[in-house]
Amino acid sequence: MAYDVALIRERARFLGQPQEKLRSLRGRELYETLEPLGLTHTQYFRALGTNVQEYCAQEFGIDLSRISVERFFQTDPNTKWLFPDVVREAVVSGMTRKPSYPQLIIRDEAITSTAYDVPYVAENDENEELRRVAEGSVIPESEIRYGDRVVKLDKFGRGVIASYEVIRRMSVDMLRVHLRRIGENLGRNLDARVAQVLVEGDNSDEDTSATVVNTHTAGTWAYADLVAGFNKLTLEHYFTPTHMLANAATLEALLGLEEIKDSALFDFAKTGNLPTPLGVKLVPMANQPANTLTILDANYAIQKLTEQDLLIESDKLINQQWDRTYLTTVTDFAIIYPKARVVVNSGWGS
């Protein structure tokens, strides 16, 4: 992956300026400075040690929790240039707060293309074994490969349909509530994608599908099935299970097991806190493939790749045109260590 070193340096130079110099930029001048650098107002606020609420209070004397959208635009000619980031920050907070995918990935890596060559290690029991090496003999090697596994990214998006007449009387704070919920729905789409990739593998040409362990009895879940999947990941693949992903039907079956219903071990019935079977966090996933339970090591299994962060039609928002505003991101997930997850399958007899 090629990084634009000059652009990164220019961003660092700009954000590293003295705060009084940074604060001297306002409104359109600030907007037109940030845009070619690929920076958001949120990153600018972070460099100032503040956030959008505090900045608006300090610079324009307005309280975002009380002011209407119409008053926001009327307060100062410079405020309208902030509005796209008010929208973006609310949507991003929803995308990262409610969904489960942030806790399941190694990291979210920014890339410069919609196709990514995934660096990876093809593990082999014989090659990975640490053996006694005689003087002058060949030392076994683990090879990090690069360039023959290409993951292609997809665009995810959602439209907001509302006229400015609908929006203008709404408080900025309430608008952000609605936008945060839209962000949560975008995050739910990413949850569905990560659940699918963890079971089926990513869209590279290499086989990255998960190892499958069938339940002892088709169509039935037993505590021994969880133990079998746990042992497969721990003892054979040598990874540490951190999460179990289950859809509603599988979750219902698991919560009904006597070993998990035991109130001396778990207090789900009393508090609503989900149990941690075998010390592993149980995560409800609405779009987890049917009849499957994914057990993974979130430190090694999967990585999120982002070519385009959340993009908003900024010009429309600045000019108070809301009829159809689209929020899009270009992203996908790549398997890093295929053996870092195991899928327990109860549907093998159907």
Joined together, the tokens standing for residue 245 give 């992903």
pLDDT of 189 strictly over 80: yes
Cα distance between residue 255 and residue 268, in whole Å: 9
pLDDT for residue 239: 96
pLDDT for residue 335: 95
pLDDT for residue 231: 97
pLDDT band at 248 (very low <50, low <70, confident <90, very high): very high
| Of 46 and 272, more confident | 46
pLDDT of 131 strictly over 60: no
Cα distance between residue 201 and residue 335, in whole Å: 7
Q: Which of 9-13, 20-24, 103-107 is most confident?
A: 103-107
Residue matched to tokens 């295929």: 338
Exposed/middle/buried for 190, CB within 10 Å: 0-12, 13-18, 19+? buried
pLDDT for residue 1: 40
Got the DSSP string for 196-261? HHHHH--SSSS--PPEEEE-SSTT---HHHHHHHHHIIIIIS-----EEEE-HHHHHHHHTSHHHH
Average pLDDT over residues 143-151: 72
Q: Which of 160-164, 273-277, 303-307 is most confident?
A: 303-307
C-beta neighbour count of 143 within 10 angstroms: 11
Task: List pLDDT tens digits, range 49-78.
Answer: 998 889 999 999 999 888 999 999 999 999
pLDDT band at 2 (very low <50, low <70, confident <90, very high): very low
pLDDT of 263 strictly over 50: yes
Got the DSSP string for 89-109? HHHHHHHHHS-SGGGTSS-EE
pLDDT band at 206 (very low <50, low <70, confident <90, very high): confident
Pick 208-304+338-345's CATH classification: 3.40.50.10130, 3.30.2320.10, 3.30.470.20, 3.30.70.2190: 3.30.2320.10
pLDDT of 82 strictly over 70: yes
Q: What percent of the chain has pLDDT over 70?
A: 91
pLDDT for residue 303: 96
pLDDT of 32 strictly over 80: yes
Average pLDDT over residues 182-194: 92
pLDDT band at 121 (very low <50, low <70, confident <90, very high): confident
Residues 6+ apart with CB under 8 A from 190: 95, 99, 101, 156, 304, 331
pLDDT of 130 strictly over 80: no
- Spell out the domain ranges in the chain: 208-304+338-345
pTM of the model: 0.84
